[in-house]
Structure formats: structure tokens, C-alpha cells
Amino acid sequence: MRDPIATVIIPTHDHGETICFAVESALSQTVSDVEILIIGDGVPDFAKPSIERCLEDSRVRYLEHGKSSRHGEEYRHLALQTAKSKIVCYLSDDDLWLPNHLETMLGLLANADFAVSRSIACYPGGPSECKIWWSDIEGEAGKRLLAERTGPPLSTGGHTLSAYGRLAEGWTSTPSGIPTDLFFWNKFITDAQFSLMSGGLPTVLKFCSISRKGWSNHARASELKGWSESIKCPQFRSALVSQALSNFIREKTNALTTARLSEQTWSERADELKAAVESFESQLVACEESRRICQSKQLSAEQELIRLSSCKSVRFARILARMPLLRKVMNFRF
């Protein structure tokens, strides 16, 4: 049996039902040759039935551990000691991947040691309120993550397995006051030996817990269920990306205007924002063109189906027209 192309690490504690939809999105990738490792960090009994349902697919394994001091970072390190894939990607147990995420990451990591894809921040208001989570890791943008203590969500990150082996220190327990994911990302970002790359169009749906305070696990799972069904439709995915890009451009354009009206020290940041707006405007055009092509193909398929149906009807009518002749032949012979 050949080794998988990608290893997917999904840490989990007590989100319960949401993990089923996260795992489903990982299993529904255009790249199917994967192994999915669910890393349990003191999972309570009520959440275990949801994990067991995920194990019905042979590509999924569950590694159970007691509760760690933070978020089970050391358990992720142990899991990677047994991985045999080319790349490692991470997925939160309450996020979703679009079907092309692993394909995108394979492309990025073919030319980099560590990469992040862009994501769409999904808010309770629905697709109309979605926005691009803008995080770049190359150059000064990556260094700024240290100062601002923000950065790409866990579900967007990935690295080659060989690069992980070259880290001075892999996944370790994170000091308090620092986001776990950022602490680990910066081990790549701050080490000059590693090549870094940021993706273009978003491939991840991020469902921020902070905007869902007070929600029960069941309510969050119900939300993910709806989104899981919606993103199976290519037209919905295209429209979602277009909407998120439009919202992003509007937001960054406003930020650019504010920067221009501010002190001169904002000039460098303004240039970055301007470049980002121009880049995403071109991607929005490409996305719209892709959607038009998809709709054109669908229309052509429908027209072909109508044509074929018409042809079958004509042939059937001709057969019926010949029935009297066939009847005469049968009577003559028998």
C-alpha cells in the first residue's frame, strides 16, 4: 500500500458534533490520497460518538490522549513522528475546507517549506457578511505577525514533512498569552532556512468562536451542516468567493483612504494595502470569468440533453410508423 500524499492533523477537545463536518470536508478533497489524524486532547465522553462516526472511513485515525496543559501541541509532534506523507496540513475541528484546499497546498508546497492559504471568515449573518482573512507570511508581513500577535488560522497552514524535520523545535506547549498556532508558525517564519509562500484565492472557511459566544455545540454543528451542504455546489462556491473578495476590496479600499489621510508613517502600509486591493480585484475578475464558464458549460450540457431527447423521440416515432409493415411480415411468415 503506497504512502499518502498528505497528512491532515485535526486537534480536538470538546466541540463534539462539529468535527464530523470538518472531517467530511477533508475527505471530500480533489486529492483523495490522504491520512487524517484526529488528535484527542482530553476528549470528554459526550464528544466521543461524533469521533467514532468519523472512523467509518479507513483514511481516518483517532489518537486519544489525556488533557494537556494547553492544546495538546506535544501530541501533534508525536503524531508527526509516524507520518509518511509529503506534506502536512492542519484543520480545526470547527472549520471547513473547500474541495480544492489540499490541491492548492500541494501546489504552494512544491516550491516552499511552509505555506498558508487564504481563508474566508464566516459570520452568523451568512455569506453576505463573509470577508477574506488577509494574512501574508513572506518578508516584513510575516515579521509583523510577531508584533501584532495575529496570523493565519490553523486551518490554513501547512508544511512539508521534511521541513518539519529540520526545525530546531517542532510542536511544543505554547507559553501563556500567545496563540498556539502563531507560536508554531513563527518557528518557520523567523528561521531564514525556510522558504515561505502565501496562497491567492481562499480555500478555507473559518468560523470564529469569538463571534459565536454562548452558542451550544449543537447550534454550531447545525450551522456547519448548512454550510457543508452549500459548498458542494460549484456555483455557490464561486459566488461565495466573489462576495468575500468584494467585501475585502471594499474594506481595504476604505483602509487605504484612511491611511492616505493619516500621518506619513502610514505610507508603507498604504502601499501594501493598495497592492493587495489591485491583486484581489484581478482575482475577482478571474473568479467571475470562471463562474461564467461554469454556467456556459451547464447551459451547453442542458441543450445537449434536450437534443439527445429529441433524437430519441424521432427514432421512436419512426419505429411506431413501421409497426404495420412489421405486422404484415409477421402474418406472412407465420
Distance (Å, rounded) from C-alpha 290 to C-alpha 282? 12
Selected residue with higher pLDDT from 262 and 241: 241
**What is the model's pLDDT at position 321?**
53
Of the three residues 231, 256, 282, the one that is the final residue of a domain is 231
255 and 225 in a single domain? The answer is: no
Averaged pLDDT score across all residues of the chain: 85
pTM, two decimal places? 0.78
Q: Helix, strand, or coil here: 202?
A: coil
Q: Are residues 21 and 169 in the same domain?
A: yes
Per-residue pLDDT reduced to its tens digit, 24-59: 999 999 999 999 999 999 999 999 999 999 999 999
Weakest-pLDDT range from 3-17, 134-148, 217-231: 134-148
What pLDDT, on a 0 to 100 scale, did the predictor assign at position 268? 66
Neighbours of 114 (CB within 10 A): 24
Is there a single domain that holds both residue 214 and residue 264?
no
| Residue 266 pLDDT exceeds 70 | no
Q: Quick one: 280 and 153 in the same domain?
A: no
User: What pLDDT score was predicted for residue 250?
Assistant: 82
Same domain for 275 and 173: no
CA–CA distance, 300 with 292 (Å, rounded to integer) = 12
Stretch 310-332: mean pLDDT, rounded? 51
SS3 for 129-178 is: HCEEECCCCCHHHHHHHHHHCCCCCHHHEEEEHHHHHHCCCCCCCCCCCC
Q: Tell me what the mean pLDDT of segment 278-298 comes to.
A: 73
Is 203 found in the same domain as 57?
Answer: yes
Does a structural domain hold residue 326? no
CATH of the domain at 72: 3.90.550.10
Asked if residue 65 lies in contact with residue 75, where contact means CB atoms within 8 angstroms, the answer is yes
* Residue 212 CB coordination number (10 Å): 15
Share of the chain above pLDDT 90, in %: 58
Higher pLDDT, 1 or 70: 70
95 alpha carbon, distance to own chain's centre: 8
Question: Is residue 199 domain-shared with residue 274, that is, in the same domain?
Answer: no
Query: Whole-angstrom Cα distance, residue 88 to residue 105?
Result: 9
Report the number of distinct structural domains present in the chain. Answer: 2
CB atoms within 10 A of CB 305: 10
Beta carbons of 115 and 161 less than 8 angstroms apart: no
DSSP strand pairing (157-160 vs 114-116) = antiparallel
Q: What is the pLDDT of residue 332?
A: 41
DSSP-derived secondary structure letter, 68: -
Task: State yes or no: pLDDT of 229 exceeds 80.
Answer: yes
Domain containing residue 139: 6-231
pLDDT at 264 over 70: no
Answer yes or no: do 285 and 139 share one domain.
Answer: no
Mean pLDDT of 114-139: 88
Three cell numbers written together for 280: 484581489
Residue 145, C-beta contacts closer than 8 angstroms, at least 6 positions apart: 135, 137, 151, 182, 185, 186, 189
Q: How confident is the model at residue 236 (pLDDT cuts 50, 70, 90)?
A: very high
Question: HEC profile for 204-257?
Answer: EEECCHHHHCCCCHHHHHHHHHHHHHHCCCHHHHHHHHHHHHHHHHHHHHHHHH
Residue 1 reports pLDDT greater than 70: no
User: What residues contact residue 184 under an 8 Å CB cut-off, 6+ apart?
Assistant: 73, 171, 174
If you ran DSSP here, which 8-state letter would residue 192 be given? Answer: T
DSSP 3-state assignment of 42? Answer: coil
Of residues 252 and 17, which shows the higher confidence score? 17
Q: Residue 333 pLDDT > 50, yes or no?
A: no
